[in-house]
């Protein structure tokens, strides 16, 4: 059982939004609105992915220069870890951790430049949307346990992808992000 | 095998590609560029109890995108569009979340969903839900020609009190006429 706070943390990286989703129950189950265009979120999805994850898996830490993520846990629990890597952000270098649960769902919007990692203590499924099609060039990453991230994980030996296991350190990810954001004109 | 079932025109059932590894699996379930039909403005997660049946409903305007991401689901379809070569065609599909598929249902094709076990569905809609775009009939109306694998499903109050097939068809056709006036 993950014991990190389930309520909204006191401060989130600028541009990150946690949105509680309301369940409407009827005799046969429930309906939960996950996304509506008229919510005017900072993410206009072009692609939706569905992920099933085994216990003790960690995905990340990743950061994107171009695309935003929008995610929601359907079943199980996700420990969502965030770290702001945007030098001009008012919350630059802020780190936070928050549990998202399939019970009492909420969605999370993660803007470009905010590094994120997901840890799953138990089997979990979740949906996420992106506002640009997947592109390997926009997938920057660093070691999940790099101390520069300021994140405390409830595991020492998570299951990782080969790419995440071989990821470079924080400094290399930060340099890559600044270069990509400069190239995109986001820091000029 | 659902691939061999004759479907109403414009209904599309697409097998999705799942990428497994030692951590679990990832499936791209929707990309805008895959579809020529009107794109979803709204996505909804629908959780269904075992033995729950939703429907039968038909819409005048909006397209539905459906993917069963938990459990399994029977989807009954019946074409109410008189202008189509598949008018009055019925089909029963079984969707299994162990083998993810995306189902596209156009306006004018009536549909109902039966969950033999607990299920989770992701539903996309090309327009926001409004009650006026939701015409209903009894799930077991014989004109639907749907062989549901149940006899006493759990229904919502609206579905339990729904009228017959003729009422639903008349309401749909009237709404279509009004929309073109």
Give the separation between CA A94 and CA A88, rounded to whole angstroms.
12
pLDDT reported for residue A167: 97
Q: Tell me which residue range forms the domain holding B169.
A: 2-180
The CATH class, in words, for A17-151+160-183 is mainly beta
Whether A82 shows a pLDDT value over 60: the answer reads yes
Average pLDDT, chain A: 92
What's the CATH code of the domain at B12? 2.60.120.10
- What residues 98-157 of chain A have any CB closer than 8 A to a CB of chain B? 105, 125, 127, 133-134
Q: How far is B84 from chain A (nearest CA, A)?
A: 31
Q: Assign B2 a pLDDT band (cuts: 50, 70, 90).
A: very low
Contact criterion met (CB below 8 Å) for B29 and A47: no
Question: Considering its fold, how many domains does chain B have in total?
Answer: 1
Q: Which whole number is the average pLDDT over B18-35?
A: 96
Residue in chain B lying closest to A48 (CA): B30
Annotate chain B with DSSP letters as a single string.
-GGGSPPPTT-EEEEPPEEEETTEEEEEEEEGGG--SPPPSEEEEEEE-TTEEEEEEE-SS--EEEEEEESEEEEEEEE--TTSTTTT-EEEEEEETTS-EEEEE-TTEEEEEEESS-EEEEEEESS---GGG-EE--TT-GGG----S-SS-B--HHHHT---HHHHHHHHHHHHHHHH-
pLDDT reported for residue A7: 54
For chain B, what percent of residues have pLDDT higher than 90? 92
pLDDT reported for residue A2: 54
Whether A10 shows a pLDDT value over 70: the answer reads no
pLDDT reported for residue B1: 43
Least confident piece of the model among A13-17, A41-45, B69-73: A41-45
Give the separation between CA A141 and CA A185, rounded to whole angstroms.
21
Contact criterion met (CB below 8 Å) for A19 and A94: no
Q: Do A47 and B32 touch (CB under 8 A)?
A: yes
């Amino acid at each position: 059982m993950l014991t990190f706070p389930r309520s909204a943390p006191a401060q989130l990286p600028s541009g990150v939004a946690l949105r509680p989703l309301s369940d409407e129950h009827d005799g046969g189950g429930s309906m939960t609105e996950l996304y509506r265009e008229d919510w005017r979120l900072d993410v206009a999805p072009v692609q939706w992915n569905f992920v099933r994850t085994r216990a003790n898996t960690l995905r990340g830490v990743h950061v994107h220069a171009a695309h935003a993520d929008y995610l929601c846990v359907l079943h199980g629990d996700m420990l969502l870890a965030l770290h702001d890597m945007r030098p001009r952000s008012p919350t630059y270098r802020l780190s936070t951790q928050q549990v998202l649960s399939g019970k009492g769902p909420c969605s999370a919007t993660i803007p470009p430049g905010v590094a994120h990692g997901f840890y799953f203590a138990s089997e979990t499924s979740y949906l996420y949307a992106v506002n640009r099609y997947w592109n390997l060039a926009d997938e920057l990453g660093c070691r999940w346990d790099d101390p520069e991230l300021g994140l405390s994980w409830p595991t020492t030996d998570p299951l990782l992808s080969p790419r995440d296991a071989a990821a470079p350190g924080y400094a290399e990810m930060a340099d890559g992000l600044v270069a990509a954001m400069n190239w995109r004109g986001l820091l000029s | 095998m659902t691939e061999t079932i004759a479907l109403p025109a414009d209904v599309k059932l697409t097998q999705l590609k799942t990428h497994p590894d030692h951590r679990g699996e990832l499936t791209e379930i929707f990309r805008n560029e895959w579809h020529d039909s009107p794109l979803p403005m709204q996505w909804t997660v629908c959780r269904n109890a075992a033995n729950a049946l939703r429907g039968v409903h038909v819409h005048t305007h909006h397209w539905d995108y459906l993917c069963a991401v938990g459990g399994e689901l029977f989807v009954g379809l019946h074409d109410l569009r008189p202008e189509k070569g598949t008018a009055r065609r019925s089909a029963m599909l079984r969707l299994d979340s162990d083998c993810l598929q995306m189902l596209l249902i156009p306006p004018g094709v009536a549909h109902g969903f039966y969950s033999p076990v607990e299920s989770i569905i992701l539903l996309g809609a090309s327009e926001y839900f409004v009650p006026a775009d939701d015409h209903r009939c009894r799930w077991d109306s014989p004109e639907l020609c749907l062989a549901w694998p149940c006899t006493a499903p759990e229904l919502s109050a609206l579905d339990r009190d729904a009228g017959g097939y003729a009422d639903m068809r008349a309401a749909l056709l009237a709404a279509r006429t009004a929309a073109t006036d």
